[in-house]
Structure 1
Amino acid sequence: MPNKVNLTSAELAYINELVSGSSTEPGETRAGFRVDGGEKANGLLLQLAAKANLTLEAELDEYCMSFPLQLKQDEFQTVHLQLAPPTIYERGPVLRAWRLHLDEPLPLLSNDGNETALSVHELSPNGLLVDAGTKHRAPKHLHMRLALPGEDSFQINAHRIRHAEGGMTAYEVAYPQDKDAERIRSYLYEQHQRLHPDLQPELAVDMPESS
């Protein structure tokens, strides 16, 4: 297989500009590319997108980012390619999703919106590190709500995978709504940029939150 190609600073900055336009209101169109490969090539891309997850991979020194690609066809049969917020991976002996340590833990909410004794201390695209408190036992399954700073809450479903240090419990999480999974990736992308200014100006500072 061919070697992976590292993107230039200008290319990464342009990718970030496209992803920054990915948070749109209903009825708006995301920023992206018009695909003009001809009827056969466009048809092949649409078939692939219908059967597989297409991604664009950005290689950095300590991290790599996997941007989901979304293909859409408008009423004029024109194909548009759009980028969604990425999953960030840390390089190491094992490639793993980057985890954000939260300076201020986020409380998990009951379905009626009230805070519970459970709080999230680390966050990744598909995982939570949860503190159940000294008086409670971490449940095997979570069917609760989570609110990112300054946003409305959304539903999460999670199951316990292991007990961690410091009385914490690790959960694998799923989001019933795809838009909420994208919202998490967008928030993590924004926080990764904030915590790693050494990547600037390769990646612009501002990353709007998903709607």
Structure 2
Amino acid sequence: MQADALLTQDELDFIHNMQHAPQLNLADSMSSLLVNGDRRLQQLLTRLVANEQVTLQAQFNNQQITFPLQLVEDEFHALHLQLGSPAIYEDGPKLRPWRLSMDQPSPLIDARNTPSSLWVRDISFKGVLLQIANGALVPNHFDLYFAPPGIQPIALQGVLRRRIGPDLAAYDLARSEADEIERLREYILQAHRRAHPELHTQVSS
């Protein structure tokens, strides 16, 4: 290498690896949208996204996947449309959020990482089905953390919706913070990718 070169070989190799990292390329292609078409239509879409909730919806078998569209400003103050984490629904007599059934029930924990008597059986971005362990009382509400292996705990606030038998109860998660629900959506999306690889392979290709 020449003595007056601006970058060392190690630095050049690092940049080359970053440019060809498949996970980075995939993230960029999945998260942002390039909208072609009439300028007036682009301006209308931009105004709608800025002032209203605009979504992109797809149907797959018996599932409906809805992506929120968001306006993101880059470092040059240009606005771009970006996809948020999707909401996944199951078709049926009534449209309902797709629920992740845990392979093994996962206990909700408190701020000190102490497991509670509430164990997650099924979870969606809207609600959770809990198993009540050891004959404990069923609370009317909870403020605890969902902490399955491999992720930072997600803070959830649940309100009792109904009892299901002696040791199951369904809770609504509407009171949870929006950014925590967004993290839950992302976790559920990863689980949906594992459960339905054929869909996500088609989307990624």
TM-score by length of 2: 0.75
State yes or no: 1:90 paired with 2:96: no
Bigger proportion of residues as helix: 2
Using a 3 Å threshold, how does the CA distance of structure 1 residues 194 and 165 change in structure 2: closer, same or farther? farther
Deviation at 1:50, TM superposition (A): 3.4
Q: Which has the larger radius of gyration?
A: 2
Q: Would the aligned equivalents of 1:124 and 1:188 in 2 still touch at CA under 8 Å?
A: yes
Instruction: Give the aligned CA root-mean-square deviation in angstroms.
Output: 2.9
Taking the aligned partners of 2:26 and 2:183, their CA distance within structure 1 comes to 12
Would the aligned equivalents of 1:33 and 1:82 in 2 still touch at CA under 8 Å? yes
Q: Aligned in 2, Cα 1:198/1:49: closer, same or farther, shift over 3 Å? A: closer
Q: Which residue of 1 aligns with 2:153?
A: 153
> For 1:62 and 1:105, how far apart are their aligned partners in 2?
26
SS, match of residue 104 in structure 1: strand
How many residues end up aligned between the 2 structures?
182
Paired residue secondary structure (1:202): helix
Judged with a 3 Å threshold, the aligned counterparts in structure 2 of structure 1 residues 164 and 18 are, in CA distance, closer, same or farther, namely: farther
Other-structure match for 1:169: 169
Corresponding residue for residue 138 of structure 2? 138
* Alignment partner, residue 181 of structure 2: 181
What amino acid maps onto 2:27 in structure 1? Answer: G
The answer to whether the Cα contact below 8 Å between 1:156 and 1:174 also exists between their aligned partners in 2 is no
Q: What per-residue deviation string (whole Å, max 9, x for no partner) do you get for residues 62-87 of structure 1?
A: 11100111112335442211112211
2:54 aligns to what?
A: 54
- What code does the residue aligned with 1:168 have? L
Q: SS at 1:179's partner residue?
A: helix
Tell whether the 8 Å contact from 1:19 to 1:84 is kept in structure 2 after alignment. no
- Higher mean C-alpha displacement, 101-110 vs 176-185: 176-185
Moved >4 Å (runs of 4+): 17-20, 34-43
Moved more, 181-190 or 191-200: 191-200
Change over 3 Å in CA distance of 1:155–1:197 after alignment to 2: closer
Shift of 1:129: 0.5
Query: What pairs with 1:20-35 in structure 2 (closer than 5 Å)?
Result: 21=27, 31-35=31-35
Which one is further off, 189-198 or 97-106?
A: 189-198
* Aligned amino acid, residue 164 of structure 1: I
Corresponding position of 2:99: 99
Displacement of 1:32: 0.8
| One-letter amino acid matched to 1:112 | R
**Secondary structure of the corresponding residue to residue 45 of structure 1:** helix
Partners of 1:70 and 1:81 within 8 A in 2 = yes
- Shift in Å, 1:19: 11
Q: Secondary structure at the match of 1:151?
A: coil
Any gaps of 5 or more consecutive residues in structure 2? 1-22
1:91 to partner: Cα distance = 1.1
Q: Distance in 2 between matches of 1:179 and 1:21?
A: 19
The one of the two structures with greater contact order (alpha-carbon pairs below 8 A, sep at least 6) is 1
TM-score with structure 1 length normalisation? 0.73
Residues 79 and 130 of structure 1, relative CA distance in 2, 3 Å threshold: same
- Checking the alignment, whether the CA contact within 8 Å between 2:117 and 2:134 is kept in structure 1 is no
Cα offset for 1:20? Answer: 5.7
Residue 45 of structure 1 corresponds to 45
> Equivalent residue for 1:126?
126
Asked if 1:66 corresponds to 2:66, the answer is: yes
Rounded Cα–Cα distance in structure 1 between residues aligned with 2:25 and 2:170: 30
